[in-house]
């Protein structure tokens, strides 16, 4: 049976940090969903660094990074209403 785990993580000073939350072992794929209104500096500059570290350390894992929440079509439609 497939299970879905959702975990909250942060970049910067808040805890838990992103790299602390990425569970390894039996997980073969995970997605990172940036909770930002737009594709700003943290998404463009800060987020790729830990993601690339994880991709190098765990090449067998598929790591997906989605659009920032505020740029996803359903969210934009709600904001437009």
Please give the model's pTM, rounded to 2 decimal places: 0.72
Taking only the tens place, the pLDDT of each residue in 2-40 is 677 788 888 777 888 777 777 656 677 888 888 888 878
Structure-block tokens of residue 72: 């996803």
Q: Pseudo-torsion of CA 24, 29, 51, 42, nearest 10°? A: -120
Structure-block tokens of residue 19: 């790299």
Structure-block tokens of residue 52: 């690339």
Mean of the per-residue pLDDT values for the chain? 82
Can you give the pLDDT at residue 72?
86
The label of the residue with tokens 């997906």 reads 64
Question: Can you tell me the distance from the alpha carbon of 22 to that of 9, in angstroms, rounded to the nearest whole number?
Answer: 9
Q: Which domains does the chain possess? A: 18-80 (3.40.50.1400)
Question: Can you tell me the distance from the alpha carbon of 75 to that of 38, in angstroms, rounded to the nearest whole number?
Answer: 11
């Amino acid at each position: 049976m497939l299970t879905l785990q959702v975990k909250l993580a942060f970049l910067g000073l808040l805890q838990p940090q992103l790299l602390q939350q990425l569970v390894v072992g039996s997980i073969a794929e995970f997605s990172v969903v940036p909770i930002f209104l737009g594709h700003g500096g943290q998404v463009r500059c800060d987020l790729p660094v830990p993601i690339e570290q994880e991709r190098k350390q765990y090449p067998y894992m598929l790591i997906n990074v989605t659009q920032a929440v505020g740029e996803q079509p359903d969210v934009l439609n709600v904001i437009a209403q």
